[in-house]
Amino acid sequence: MNGPRFNEWIQSQKVRVIDHEGENLGVMYTREAMAQAKELGLDLVEVSPNADPPVAKFLDVGKFKYEAQKKANLARKSQKTQEIKEIKMRPNIDDHDYDTKMKKVAEFIGEGDKVKVTMRFRGRELSHGQLGMAVLQRVAEQVADVAKVEAYPRMEGRQMLMVLAPK
């Protein structure tokens, strides 16, 4: 059974009862509370099973489940998934190109996404890894106020990778 326990499925002998108008009726036997709920045409629904004694309310169980499902869907809809965006650079990148890429990095971090900065080496550039490292250090320093370095620069084949995450 999924969802809250109600009526016969409530396992405790006594429950703290709250009626359909939100009034606290105090602690009573579960059978007694179920009888009162039936008289009103409602169900006895356990809303706080971990309390001592458990708290139960007079509710329409179908409506209660529907509302809970609706609330869960809304929460799932409004939650943002964090994506990893990638920015590719070369070690001998020009100033204007660098500035353009940095605007995109700032935009991605502003949206709450992680940014993977990839430094690609071609030909003889591979023997000058310090140039690529210098550019990545410059990137890290420039975004230090809005992002933190999650994965420090490391070589993977012909590319050097660094991951930035929003603070």
pLDDT for the residue 2: 77
pLDDT for the residue 1: 66
Task: Report how far residue 91's alpha carbon sits from residue 5's, in angstroms, rounded to the nearest whole number.
Answer: 63
- Sheet bearing 159-166, strands edge to edge: 84-89, 114-120, 159-166, 147-156
Q: What residue spans in the chain does CATH classification 3.10.20.80 cover?
A: 7-77
Task: Report how far residue 71's alpha carbon sits from residue 76's, in angstroms, rounded to the nearest whole number.
Answer: 9
Place of tokens 């106020």: 145
pLDDT digits (tens, 9 = 90+) for 55-74: 999 999 999 999 999 999 99
Q: What residue spans in the chain does CATH classification 3.30.110.10 cover?
A: 84-166
With pLDDT > 90 as the criterion, what percentage of the chain qualifies?
Answer: 87
Are 162 and 153 spatial neighbours (Cβ–Cβ below 8 Å)? yes
Are 141 and 153 spatial neighbours (Cβ–Cβ below 8 Å)? no
Spatial CA neighbour of 10 closest among 39, 49, 40: 49
What average pLDDT score do residues 74-96 get?
A: 91
Residue bearing the bigger pLDDT, 79 or 33: 33
Residue 27: pLDDT band (50, 70, 90) is: very high
Topology of the domain comprising 84-166: Translation Initiation Factor IF3 (3.30.110)
Q: Report the predicted TM-score, pTM, of the whole model to 2 decimal places.
A: 0.58
Residue 52 carries which side chain, given as an amino acid letter? Answer: D
Task: Report how far residue 45's alpha carbon sits from residue 58's, in angstroms, rounded to the nearest whole number.
Answer: 6
CATH 3.90.1010.10 fits 7-77, yes or no: no
